[in-house]
Every structure is written in structure tokens, then in C-alpha cells.
Amino acid sequence: MKLILLGPPGVGKGTQAQLLSNEYNIPQISTGDILRGAIQRSSELGRKANDFMSKGELVPDDIILGLIQDKLFGEKPPNGYILDGFPRTIVQAKALKTMFEEHHDALDAVLSLEADEKLIVKRLSSRRTCRNCKTVYNLITKPPVVDGVCDTCSGELYQRDDDKIDTIQNRIAVYKKQTEPLIDFYRAAGILFAINSSGSPEEVHNIITSQLED
Ligand code: AP5
């Protein structure tokens, strides 16, 4: 199964990608996680990406497309996957379409996660992530047992730089301008499913799986 999770920052793409990955035994491919890993290692990719990410801007298409080409169609292409955070622009979506056509392959579905803006700002500003194992927490809906400490590996929990309120607002504006047009792009392709994502993670997961298995 080849899926795209589309939606504004904080709507729950990463959370749902994890649940789907466990359910269908296919990898989550998160461009955000790949870029944050590169920043942590101070690699050339990380140095290039950091300037954009810290301001809540998108990383240039050519950088992202090189990375995705390699992940999806490189030496060991995965049989199925959940794309989390890619594509993010019409240029990226059209380039992905071309890559699939060249490989006689196709997407199965695009899940467009939707929730009220107030709710996503609340989710983002209360998110904490483990520096070590990257487990995602939420101070309101999924707090760690011990304040500031990861339940899984005892690593330190931190707030992402781009989860500060000013950057959140810019990320939402960038989403509306550059990513929201993808909803119409994939609706026209006949593979878009709108998913109400305001419920609990388990409720949203159940909506998604019942749509996929319908
Ligand atoms: P990226 O990492 O992709 O960030 P994003 O799209 O802004 O999404 P988030 O990770 O913030 O949120 P999410 O929807 O995954 O929510 P989550 O599940 O964590 O991208 C970061 C940056 O990288 C971009 O700004 C850009 O600079 C760059 N980038 C990445 N991809 C790119 C691309 N293709 N092109 C160009 N640039 C790119 O949930 C959020 C919180 O809510 C968590 O605390 C979670 O526990 C909680 N939560 C989730 N679901 C629920 C629920 N149902 N109920 C209650 N709480 C919930």
C-alpha cells in the first residue's frame, strides 16, 4: 500500500503514520524527520535545511525531490509506505507523479487530515519530543509519566524550535498558500479521502482504516 498523509502542521500526520505503519507493516517516510536527523548530524543537507525550517518555511523543492527519489526509487525501493509531509507543493506533487509513471507505479490513496485551526495550534504548542528515540508526547493528551523524561528510553524531552507560537503561525500560513492546493490536485485524480481528525488518535485511526478497507 502506498499512501500520502496530507494536512496542516500538528493535525496528527506523524501520529497516524505511526499507527498505520504498525497496522499494515509498512514504513513511515517523514521528510520532516529525515531533515531533523540531518540537522542533528550537522550534515550538508541539515545545514541547508535548517535556515528554512527554523523560520517555518519550506525547504526548496530540488533538495526534497533528490531525497525522495533516492528513498522511493533508489537501490532498495520499499514495497509500500506512508509518506508523511511529502509532497508539500504542486511542483513536488507533479514530480512525484512523473516518478511513478516512469516506474509504472501508482499511489493507492491520499488521506487529507482536517481539524480546526485552534485545535492544531493547541496540539503543536503542547507537543514534546524525545531527543533520543524521537517518541512524540503531548503535555495535554499524552503526557510522559515523569515530567521532561521519555517513558521509553529516559531521554530528554524537548520542544521543537518550530513549535514556538510565531513559527507555528507562519507554518500554518505557508501550509495554506503552498500545500492546501494539493487537496484539489488529488481530488481531481480521484484518490483523495477527507478525514476528520479532531477525535482521539485511536478514533482517527479507525476512520482511516475503515475508509481504506471499504
Ligand atoms: P514536518 O515535520 O513534516 O512538520 P509538519 O507538517 O508541520 O507536521 P508536524 O510534524 O508539526 O505535525 P503532525 O501533523 O505530524 O502532527 P503530530 O502527529 O506530531 O515538517 C517540518 C518542516 O520541515 C517544515 O516546516 C519544512 O520546513 C520542512 N519540510 C518537511 N517536509 C518538507 C517538504 N516535503 N517540502 C519542503 N519542506 C519540508 O501531532 C502533533 C501533536 O498533537 C503531538 O503532540 C501529538 O501527540 C498530538 N496529537 C496528534 N494527534 C492527536 C489526536 N488525534 N488527539 C490528540 N492529540 C493528538
Which pLDDT tens digit goes with each residue over 137-184? 999 999 999 999 999 999 999 999 899 998 999 999 999 999 999 999
Instruction: Please report whether residue 21 resides in a domain.
Output: yes
* 204 Cβ inside 6 Å of ligand 1: yes
Which of ligand 1's atoms lies nearest the C-alpha of 35?
Answer: 23
Instruction: Please report whether residue 51 resides in a domain.
Output: no
Is the C-alpha dihedral spanning 14, 15, 18, 19 positive or negative? negative
Given the residues 55, 122, 160, 164, select the one marked as catalytic: 160
Q: What percent of the chain has pLDDT over 90?
A: 96
Instruction: Please report whether residue 176 resides in a domain.
Output: yes
- Non-local CB neighbours of 9 within 8 Å, separated by 6+ positions: 120, 124, 168, 171, 172, 175
Instruction: Please report whether residue 107 resides in a domain.
Output: yes
Instruction: Please report whether residue 42 resides in a domain.
Output: no
Instruction: Please report whether residue 49 resides in a domain.
Output: no
Instruction: Please report whether residue 53 resides in a domain.
Output: no
Q: What is the pTM of this model?
A: 0.96
- Identity of the amino acid at 59: V
pLDDT at 178: 98
Average pLDDT, the chain: 96
- Once rounded to an integer, what is the mean pLDDT over residues 21-45? 95
**Cβ-contact 7, 112 below 8 angstroms:** yes
pLDDT-derived band at 41 (thresholds 50, 70, 90) equals very high
pLDDT-derived band at 75 (thresholds 50, 70, 90) equals confident
Q: What percent of the chain has pLDDT over 70?
A: 100
Which of ligand 1's atoms lies nearest the C-alpha of 16?
Answer: 18
Q: Where residue 113 sits, what CATH number does that domain have?
A: 3.40.50.300
Instruction: Please report whether residue 164 resides in a domain.
Output: yes
> What is the chain's Cα-based Rg?
17
**pLDDT above 90 for 25:** yes
Range of the domain at 191: 2-27+78-212
- Domain total of the chain: 1
